[in-house]
Amino acid sequence: MIERHGLRPRLYATDIQVYGSCRPSAVANFQVCLSACVDVAWMLANHLQLNTGKTDLLWCATVHHCHQLPTAALRIGSDFVNKLKSV
């Protein structure tokens, strides 16, 4: 399911990390892709729930492209995912 959105998963027991990349000019489309990947309706249908308290987003970019990164949190369903500067 994750690969269908052009993203790559890393699975750790009950945790998943999702990785992807895009050009700075495509960040808005990339955010839509991430939101679609974490399909809240699919999760509910399968009796799963996104724990937004344990969900984070980390944007990586060169110094020259940092100004092109989104400043707002990523919205997934009715929740917002925390943005981190480092992990």
At 20 the pLDDT is 92
- The domains of the chain are located at 3-84
Whole-angstrom Cα distance, residue 50 to residue 79?
A: 9
Q: What angle do CA 35, 39, 44 make, to 5 degrees?
A: 145
What's the pTM? 0.75
pLDDT in tens, 16-32: 888 999 988 898 899 88
pLDDT higher than 80, residue 15: yes
